[in-house]
Amino acid sequence: MFNLPDILIIAIQIFFVAFFINLLYELLHSVLYTTCLQMSIKEYIPLVLKASTVDGLWISSFYLITYFIFKNTNPLNSYYQIILFFIISILWDYFWEIYSTANKRWEYSENMPLVAGVGLTPLIQLFLTGILSFYIIFNIF
């Protein structure tokens, strides 16, 4: 059993790994947003840095939620913990995309594949980048 400071250190490590993975993800899928395509580089860089920071914070937060429920530090060792992480991530992404597009925070380009009214790449982003972050933290570091 890990104590609270150990779990917080793991969550911070997850944040930093998730930040860099999400930065790459943001750069790659930003071409699917009309908003990003129309921005100057001075607007674009702060946007993707902020988005990557927020994504890293959400992944770390969702990790902590699943840790406190399952008391398991490595979610890759628990199907139930991964399923809960999946559910939280997908629901959060779905409702955030609905809110953000309805309030014109961003707009999709015609190339964005849609699922249930939201973009596919943002819908699966936190889950995929979270799982990759866990893999890196628990299997490489």
The domain of 130 spans 4-135
How many Cβ atoms sit within 10 Å of the Cβ of residue 52? Answer: 21
Q: What is the pLDDT of residues 50-61, one digit of tens each?
A: 999 999 999 999
Q: Is residue 141 part of a domain?
A: no
> Is 107 contained in some domain?
yes
Question: Tokens at residue 129, please?
Answer: 């980048």
In this predicted structure, the answer to whether residue 1 has a pLDDT above a threshold of 70 is no
Helix or strand or coil: residue 73?
coil
Domain count within the chain: 1
Nearest by Cα to 84 from 99, 98, 100, 67: 67
Question: What is the pLDDT confidence band of residue 139, given thresholds at 50, 70 and 90?
Answer: very high
Q: Tell me if 94 is assigned to some domain.
A: yes
Cα 91 to Cα 101: distance, rounded to the nearest angstrom: 15
Model confidence pTM above 0.75: yes
Average pLDDT over all residues of the chain = 95
Task: Please name the residue that has the structure tokens 């953000």.
Answer: 100
- pLDDT tens profile 77-122: 999 999 999 999 999 999 999 999 999 999 999 999 999 999 999 9
